[in-house]
Structure 1
C-alpha cells in the first residue's frame, strides 16, 4: 500500500505530504491530529480524493505558499473544488489548485484590511462564462458561510476565471484576455451608437456570444457566406464601419484575421442595438 510521508502539519485537518518525490496537501477531518513530521499516512481512497496539488510551484514558491496561506482557506477551497467537480460532473485540473487558494487567501486578507476589490471586467466575464460564473457565486456562498465575511460581486468574476482555467485545457489568462477585449468592444459600441450598453444585457449577451462564435470559426479556418456583404455595406454602412473597428480590436488582441463576411453578421447585431434609439 502506498504511503504519504508527512513533511509538515498545517492544522489538525491539513497536512503537507510527499509521495513519489511530489508534494501534496491533504485535507481531511482530523487527518493531522496526533501526527508529526516524519510519520507516514497510508493511502486509503478517502484520503486520495482529498489531495490538493502543488503542481507548478517551485521549492521557494511552495514554501512561501505554506507560510502565508491560512490552513482554513485551504480547507474551504477544497470544498469549492469538490462542489465545482460535482456540479460539472468533471474533475478540475489540479494545475489550478495552488493558484486559486493563493488568490482566495490574498482576497480575504485584503477584505479584512478594508481594501476594496475592483473588477472592471465583471460584466463581460459574466456574459462570456455563465457556467463558471454561477459556480463562482456558489463558491462565494461557501466562503461567506465559513468565514462570516462580506464578499463583493467583483470577486465572483475573478473566481469564475480561475474555475474556467481549471476545465480541460482552458487557460485563465486567455479568459481574462477575452474579457478585457470584450470590455473594450462594448465600450466602443456604446460610444459609437451613443447608448448605455448596461440597459441592454440580453442584446449584449447575444453580441458577445456571436463574437465568441467568430473567434471559434476563425481559429478553425471556417468562413460564413459572404454574398450579402456588399448589400450590408450599403444598407447598414454606419454599423458596418463599427463592425470593422470591432474586427480590428479582435485581430490586435487575439492575433487572428477576421474576414469581411464576419463583419457583416456583426453589423446585423449592431443594427438591432442601434434601432433602439429610434
Structure 2
C-alpha cells in the first residue's frame, strides 16, 4: 500500500536509494520506497505529494535514542539493508512490528557480520526447535538471510536463520523474547534428557518430534498462565506405559524446576504418550 505525506519531510540521513531517515515537526521517521533516496541529501525537503511504501516510527524514547546511537556506529548501507529486510518481514506478515526491531535486528546483524569477518564460529543449539515452534517466522528469516547473502556477497550459517526467527517472533509479540528463549532452552534440555534416558537419537525431522515440541511449547504456556488440561486416561497410561510415565515425570520435574511451578499429573500423562511414540519410532 502506498502512502501520501500529509506534510513536508526534511531528510536527516540517506541510508540507501530506498530508505531515508526524516523529520516532520520534530518527529523522526524511517521511510521506505523504491528509489526514494536516489539523488537525495541531508537537508533536502520531500514534497507532500511524494509516494512511499512504508513509514516506520520510533515513538518510544528509549528506542529513539538507541536507534540514534546505532546510526553513529553502523554503516549506512547496512542500516538501509536491514530496514529493507524489516519492510519485507512486515509485508510478508501483513502486520506492523514492534518498533524495537529496528534496533535489535540491525544491531544483531551488524554483530553477526563482524563475527563472520573475524572467522568466529556461529552455533545455534536451538535451530531445530526454533524452526519447529515458529515455522512462519522461520521461512521469513530464510528470506532475510538470502537478502543479506545476495547483497553482501557472503555465506551466512544456517544457525543465523534461527536467531533472526526469534527477532521476528519477538517483534510480533510486543518486543518480548524471554519466553521464546525459555521455550527453546527447555525444549532442547528435555530432548537431551529423553535421548540420554532411552539411549536413542530422536529424528528431529519427524512428525512425532514436531508434535512433541509443539506440545511442550503449549505446556509451558499452560503452566505459566495456570490453565491446566484434563487427561481422563491417566490410570491407563500409568499402567500401559509405566516406563514412559516414569521418564515423563523426570521431564516434568525439569519443567517444574525451571519454571518454579507445579506440574499436574494430567500433563505428565500426555508427555508419557509422546515418549512412548519416540520409543517405537527408534
The answer to whether the 8 A contact 1:52-1:97 is kept is no
**Shift of residue 270 of structure 1?**
0.3
Cα contact 1:124–1:179 (8 A) shared by 2: yes
- For structure 1, which runs of at least 5 residues remain unmatched after alignment? none
- Cα pair distance change 1:49/1:43, threshold 3 Å: farther
Post-superposition offset of 1:170:
6.0
Give the whole-Å Cα distance in 1 for the aligned partners of 2:213 and 2:258: 15
TM-score normalized by structure 2?
0.85
Report what 1:154 is aligned to: 159
CA RMSD of aligned residues (A): 2.6
Cα distance in structure 1, aligned partners of 2:103 and 2:54 = 16
- Larger deviation, residues 102-111 vs 128-137: 102-111
Judge which range, 155-164 or 202-211, deviates more.
202-211
Where do residues 108-257 of structure 1 align in structure 2 (5 Å cutoff)? 108-169=113-174, 171-198=176-203, 201-257=206-262
Q: Work out whether residues 236 and 267 of structure 1, in 8 Å CA contact, stay in contact via their aligned partners in 2.
A: yes
Q: Which runs of 5+ in 2 are unaligned?
A: 1-5
Change (3 A) 1:109 1:25: farther
SS of 2:31's equivalent in the other structure is strand
> What is the aligned counterpart of 2:110 among 84, 105, 126?
105
TM-aligned CA deviation for residue 12 of structure 1: 5.8
Match for 1:269 among 262, 274, 278? 274
Question: How far has the Cα of 1:49 moved from its partner?
Answer: 1.3
SS for the counterpart of 2:51 is helix
Residue 53 of structure 1, CA deviation: 3.6
Compute the TM-score of the two structures, normalised by the length of structure 1: 0.86
Please state how far the C-alpha of 1:101 moved relative to its aligned partner.
1.1
- Aligned CA distance change for structure 1 residues 172 and 45 (closer, same or farther; 3 Å): farther
1:33 matched to 2:33? The reply is: no
Match of 1:258 in 2: 263
CA displacement at 1:9 relative to structure 2:
4.8
